[in-house]
Amino acid sequence: MSWWTPQVTAIFWGLFQALVILLGVVLLGAVLTVVERRFLGLWQDRYGPNRVGPFGTLQLVADMLKIFFKEDWIPPFASRGLFLLAPILAFASLLLSFLIIPITPGWGVADMHIGLLFFFALAGINVYSVLLGGWASGNKYALLGALRASAQTLSYEVFMGLSLMGVVAMAGSFNMRDIVAAQENLWFIIPQFFGFITFLFAGVAVTHRHPFDQPEAEQELADGYHIEYSGMKFGMFFIGEYVGMVLVSALIVTLFFGGWHGPLLPPFVWFALKTSGFLLLFMLLRASLPRPRYDRVMSFGWKICLPLTLINLLATGAVMLWVGA
Amino acid sequence: MDRNKRPIIDTVRGLVPATGSLLRTMGTVFMHGFRKRETVSYPEQPVYLPPRYRGRIILTRDPDGEERCVACNLCAVACPVDCISLQKDEADDGRWYPSFFRINFSRCIFCGMCEEACPTSAIQLTPDFEMGEYDRQQLVYEKEDLLIDGSGKDHDYHFYKVAGMAIAGKDKGQAKDEDTPEDVRTLLP
């Protein structure tokens, strides 16, 4: 077997890692749909789904079975191609961003030097899923949701990029592994606190999670851009939202909380612990905060977060020049 | 000082209490995770129903074990959704009784007006709501489904013992606290 060289082994090992991470993330996204309902129940002094299996653990299986057998309906007034494309984009774009997340020193799909920029690019593509979904549905609520989503995502992506530039400047690289390595002694949450805060807001807004869920506000828009979707197409939007939640949590951990760094416990456990902490924060935000008015979301983004990130970036640059000089 | 002249300072000033409020809200909600849950896990955990709960309707018997219902139709008249249906009949001893008594529980709204209207405490509502059926027709209860052996909430009431109606074994004037009827002929001039 002369073709079985170490390079081939490396390729297969990389493929295996990629598959494991892909399945892990999708599964985590699916499990989160149930875990979130349980936690919301806990915080609202009720139980949540606890009937299927011990402590409701098999609820996910029940939900999956149900959604697979639902009628997969495409409205006659929808524009078919775009209607089919939107959920695929929604699911794939944020899932692809997991390429750049280094989970442990040995695990991670790709070690790209553009790293963060790849995430920004895919977050930009993610807007299209909502926009196309809302447009192709031929429904006014869906269109309103899509309008809101695109305006909101555009505004929040402006300072999402800027909020991370402080981190990039301090690490001196877009590569995620370099950024993690730069946090070995001091997590970036301390020098980049405002960057962290604004990235958290932007992350919540980009994934359309509460309290920035205006695009899919149930009460005003009857679920916004995915109102016409049913069956597994809706499921892809839904799981995509949770994948986005996992992605933003993992990004926050990697960029601001030292990734896998931590004493005693193995790297993966640290990474998982920190990520689940942020997933919990996402759920807590949903459980506690009301949805602000849409214009306030926009003015909060442009008038408060954007200046804050700019000041943060300026201050970071000034301090780095001063210390370096 | 004019507020509009210092937009930045005012914004920052507004942000501090707002942030505090948000954090406090999140803290409160988080602390609810350590509280007792309000949910009653119903089928496993029995639910408490107060004695006056208006649930499944029954027909009761008097202390002697005879049917209380005298088929006066007042319940059927009082019923706002017309779910009660009955037919009067007369027994050999002179008692009135319903030859059939039917309540359609798929219509019944459990308002309790039949109970209020009933002059003999025969029809009563009970603290029981577990009446689910797969077949709608099963919700139509006949007299044998409604009639119970006891006297329900009103233990001592016995209509024929206090009413002035003559039945076999009890003539007019023999009821409790009832005077013997006046012989109108003695009043003639």
Average pLDDT, chain B: 87
Is A107 a residue whose pLDDT tops 70?
Answer: yes
* CA–CA distance, A19 with B164 (Å, rounded to integer): 90
Chain B contact probe: residue of A39, A44, A200, A296 with most B CBs at under 10 A: A44
Query: Does the beta carbon of A299 lie under 8 angstroms from any beta carbon of chain B?
Result: no
- pLDDT at site B54: 92
Which site among A288, A289, A303, A310 would you substitute to test the B interface, given the most B Cβ atoms closer than 10 Å to its Cβ? A288
Query: Phi, psi at residue B147, to the nearest 5°?
Result: -75, 130
Note the pLDDT tens digit of each residue in A184-220: 788 878 788 888 888 988 888 888 787 887 766 666 6
Question: How much is the pLDDT for B172?
Answer: 82
**H/E stretch holding A171:** helix A140-171
pLDDT score for A48: 84
> Which residue of chain B is at minimal alpha-carbon distance from A40?
B33
Report the largest interatomic distance among the alpha carbons of chain B, rounded to a whole angstrom.
Answer: 107
| Contact of A153 with A220, CB cutoff 8 Å | no
SS3 B7: helix
Measured between beta carbons, which residues in chain A are less than 8 angstroms from residue B29?
Answer: 43, 284, 287-288
Helix (H) or strand (E) holding B59: strand B57-59
Distance CA A302, CA B90 (A): 86
Contact A258, A183 (CB under 8 A): yes
Query: What's the mean per-residue pLDDT of chain A?
Result: 84
- A123-144 pLDDT tens trace: 888 888 888 888 888 888 888 8
Q: What is the mean pLDDT of residues A294-314?
A: 86
Mutate to test the interface with B, among A37, A39, A45 (most CBs of B within 10 A): A45
A-B C-beta contacts closer than 8 Å: 38
Residue that the structure tokens 């405490």 belong to: B121
Reference A252, options A119, A61, A86, A141; nearest CA is A119
Q: What's the confidence (pLDDT) of residue B78? A: 93
pLDDT of residue A1: 62
From the list B11, B26, B32, the residue facing A45 with the nearest CB is: B32
Q: Between A201 and A112, whose confidence is greater?
A: A201
CA distance B47 to chain A (A): 16
Q: How far is CA A123 from the centre of its chain?
A: 9
Q: Considering only CB atoms, which chain B residues are within 8 Å of A284?
A: 26, 29-30
CB proximity A302 to B under 8 Å: no
| pLDDT the model gives residue B3 | 55
Give the chain B residue whose CA is nearest to the CA of A44: B32
| Residues of chain B where predicted confidence (pLDDT) is lower than 50 | 1
Query: Is A9 in the B-facing interface, judged by CB distances under 8 Å?
Result: no
Q: Cβ distance A63 to A33 under 8 Å? A: yes
Of the residues B21, B38, B39, B45, the best mutation for testing chain A's interface (the one with the most A CB atoms within 10 Å of its CB) is: B39
% of chain A surpassing 70 pLDDT = 96
A296: distance to nearest CA of chain B, Å? 13
Q: Which residues of B touch A303 (CB under 8 A)?
A: 11
Long-range contacts of B12-18 (CB under 8 A, 24+ apart): B15/A304
Is the CB of residue A48 less than 8 Å from the CB of residue A38? yes
**CA atoms within a 13 Å half-sphere pointing along the CA-CB vector of A115:** 23
A43-63 pLDDT, tens digit per residue, is 888 888 888 878 888 888 888
DSSP A53: S
Looking at CA atoms only, how far is residue B49 from chain A in angstroms?
21
Q: Is the pLDDT of residue A273 over 80?
A: yes
Cβ A288–B29 below 8 Å, yes or no?
yes
Among chain A residues, CA nearest to B12: A304
How far is A208 from A149, CA to CA, in rounded Å?
Answer: 8
Q: How far is B44 from chain A (nearest CA, A)?
A: 12
Tokens representing A270? 């640290």
A51 in contact with B at a CB cutoff of 8 Å?
A: no
Tokens in use for B167? 């039945």
Is the CB of residue A47 less than 8 Å away from at least one CB of chain B?
yes
pLDDT at A90: 84
Query: Residue B17 is encoded by which pair of tokens?
Result: 């209490």
For residue B7, cis peptide bond before it (omega within 30 degrees of 0)? no
